[in-house]
């Protein structure tokens, strides 16, 4: 599986701790820009494309600092591109 997003599509980013002590980064998408998922069927070896994604989840290891820095980097990248990415952990 491959997911490709346009940073302008990100509206909010948050971090959550998983049961197994890993952290998960969640990116919430508006659907206004080109964000897609490609999935290869193992039986037919065909690639299928889903044109709309409402979000993406990225699993980070057990390092909380890395998860927080990754979230801050996404927010900063949004600022560099002229968009506002909300910090979902503040609400």
- Per-residue pLDDT reduced to its tens digit, 19-32: 888 999 999 999 88
62 lies in a domain? yes
Q: Is residue 59 part of a domain?
A: yes
Q: Is 25 exposed, middle or buried (0-12, 13-18, 19+ CB in 10 A)?
A: buried
Please report whether residue 8 resides in a domain. Answer: yes
- Residue 2 bridge partners (DSSP): 38
Output phi, psi for 76, to 5 deg: -65, -40
Kindly write down the DSSP assignment for every residue of 6-53, as one continuous string.
Answer: -GGGEEEEEEEE-TTS-EEEEEEE-SSS--EEEEE-TTT--EEEE---
90 falls within a domain:
no
Confirm whether 24 is domain-assigned.
yes
Residue 32 placed within a domain: yes
Residue-range definition of the domain harbouring residue 41: 2-85
pLDDT in tens, 65-91: 999 999 999 999 999 999 999 999 875
Question: pTM of this prediction?
Answer: 0.81
């Amino acid at each position: 599986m491959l997911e490709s997003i346009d940073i302008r599509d990100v509206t909010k980013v948050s971090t959550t701790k998983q049961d197994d002590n890993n952290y998960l980064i969640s990116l919430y998408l508006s659907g206004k820009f080109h964000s897609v998922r490609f999935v290869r069927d193992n039986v037919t070896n065909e690639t299928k494309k889903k044109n709309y994604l409402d979000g993406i989840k990225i699993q980070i290891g057990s390092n909380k600092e890395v998860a927080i820095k990754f979230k801050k980097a996404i927010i900063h990248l949004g600022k560099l591109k002229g968009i506002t990415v909300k910090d979902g952990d503040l609400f």
